[in-house]
Amino acid sequence: MRQALRELHQRHLGETTGALADYIPELAKGDPDRFGIAVATAGGDLFQTGDCLAEFTIQSVSKAFAYCVALELLGREAVLERIGVEPSGDAFNAIVFDPRTNRPFNPMVNAGAITVAGMLHERLGDDAFPTLLARMSAAAGRPLAVDEAVYRSETETGHRNRAIGHLLRNCGAISGPVDTILDIYFRQCSMLVTAVDLAWMGATLAHIGEHPATGEQVFELGAVRDTLAVMFTCGMYDYSGGWAFKVGIPAKSGVGGGIVGVVNRQLGIGTFSPRIDALGNSARGLRVFEDLANDFGLHTFECLNQGSLFVSSMLQRERA
Ligand code: GLN
């Protein structure tokens, strides 16, 4: 695995398509060349290559974990009543709601994620963000912090999200003060993580909610299953269909350049490369995941799943 990651890193080092997100001004100040790949196993091993300890803001990757916490705290029926589980086929920041139900299409687009923040606020009040931070830190296996500059930058410029928040308030999807709810959402998006953190966070989901190295049970079983299902169908914005077809594992991307992928019961994969494509996904991250899935047979519906066997046999050999 170590060797495979090194080769993969080498193979895609020259891939420079895409550009830094600049609609949040502070994100445009990042180093576009950063590139890290990390893989954590459900058995607690970690493999990494490149800029794996470089910090970046988690952005939309946080939506998957916030959804998982909401499912646990509020119950799937209550969450489902307000947020759908259908791919939207629209951009992550689209101002659209499911015309049949008036709900946000799913929790992985901004409208759904802001509704999640609203529901957490209803349940937890001022503890909503500290709870999210604590859970996501436990999933990463280390205390995470907020990038104050990115948080401020998005707060100052996030008028589109503010508009979405007011529409949600108007139709009763959220009931608390819009600014307070957006503050939770902007903070959760500004948490600093590394590719290694994403790999562990993915491995925690892969390991049905238990962090494979710390042993902490971070998320509840049923919530993990539901979260992975939505990551599988909606995690990559309007590239989710292409991703399910080509890569075939639950995943979530963010405009900060991170992607987390989950090979159920086996692996968490984290990539970081901040040049993003027109749909908001890390361009280099997509290539890396495609190759990893092909080389190791990670696709959920890979008939022999030989690659996965290969991974576990490699690990066994290494331990022997
Ligand atoms: N904070 C960002 C936003 O709301 C997250 C978007 C993303 O990563 N796709 O615009």
Tens place of pLDDT per residue across the chain (320 aa): 999 999 999 999 999 999 999 999 999 999 999 999 999 999 999 999 999 999 999 999 999 999 999 999 999 999 999 999 999 888 888 888 888 888 999 999 999 999 999 999 999 999 999 999 999 999 999 999 999 999 999 999 999 999 999 999 998 999 999 999 999 999 999 999 999 999 999 999 999 999 999 999 999 999 999 999 999 999 998 899 999 999 999 999 999 999 999 999 999 999 999 999 999 999 999 999 999 999 988 999 887 655 455 555 556 666 66
Q: Does the beta carbon of 190 lie inside 6 Å of ligand 1?
A: no
What amino acid occupies position 3?
Answer: Q
Residue 268 structure tokens:
């968490």
Pairing of strands 267-272, 258-263: antiparallel
Rounded Cα gap, residues 102 and 272, in angstroms:
35
Question: What backbone torsions phi and psi does residue 145 show, to the nearest 5 degrees?
Answer: -130, 165
Return d(Cα 49, Cα 9) in angstroms, integer.
7
Spacing, Cα 274 to ligand 1 middle (Å): 13
Is the shortest distance between the CB of 253 and ligand 1 below 6 Å? no
Rg, C-alpha atoms of the chain: 18
Ligand 1 centroid to residue 236 C-alpha, Å: 12
| Burial zone of 248 (CB within 10 Å; 0-12 exposed, 13-18 middle, 19+ buried) | buried
One-character DSSP codes across the chain: -HHHHHHHHHHHTT---SB---SSGGGGGS-TT--EEEEEETTS-EEEEESTT--EE-TTHHHHHHHHHHHHHH-HHHHHHHS--S---S-TT-----TTT-S-S-TTSHHHHHHHHHHHHHHHGGGHHHHHHHHHHHHHTS---B-HHHHHHHHHH-HHHHHHHHHHHHTTS--S-HHHHHHHHHHHHTBEE-HHHHHHHHHHHHTTTB-TTT--B-S-HHHHHHHHHHHHHHTTGGGHHHHHHHT-S-EEE-TTSEEEEEETTTEEEEEE---B-TTSSBHHHHHHHHHHHHHHT--TT-SS-HHHHHHHHHHHHHH-
* CB distance 161 to ligand 1 below 6 Å: yes
> Residue 133: how many CB atoms within 10 A of its CB?
17
Query: Which burial class, exposed, middle or buried, applies to 186 when counting CB atoms under 10 A from its CB (0-12, 13-18, 19+)?
Result: buried
- In this structure, CATH architecture of domain 2-319: 3-Layer(aba) Sandwich (3.40)
> Strand pairing of 251-253 and 258-263?
antiparallel
Residue 107 in contact with residue 67, Cβ under 8 Å?
yes
Catalytic residue among 67, 151, 237, 239: 237
Active site residue 63: yes
How many angstroms separate the alpha carbon of residue 305 from the centre of ligand 1? 34
Selected catalytic residue, list 63, 196, 262, 308: 63
Among 306, 309, 64, smallest CA distance to 191 is for 64
Which structure tokens are listed for 281? 């996904």
With a 6 Å cutoff on the Cβ, whether 132 touches ligand 1 is no
- pLDDT of the residue at 303: 72
Please report how many Cα atoms fall inside a 13 Å half-sphere around the Cα of residue 126, on the Cβ side. 0
Rounded Cα–Cα distance for residues 272 and 290 (Å): 15
* pTM of structure: 0.94
From ligand 1's centre to the CA of 165, what distance in Å?
Answer: 14
Q: Does any ligand 1 atom lie closer than 6 A to the CB of residue 62?
A: no
Find out whether the beta carbon of 60 lies less than 6 Å from any atom of ligand 1.
Answer: yes
User: Ligand 1, closest atom to CA 61?
Assistant: 8
88 is catalytic: no
Is 185 among the residues known to form the active site?
yes
What pLDDT shows up at residue 307? 46
Cα–ligand 1 centroid distance for 147 (angstroms): 14
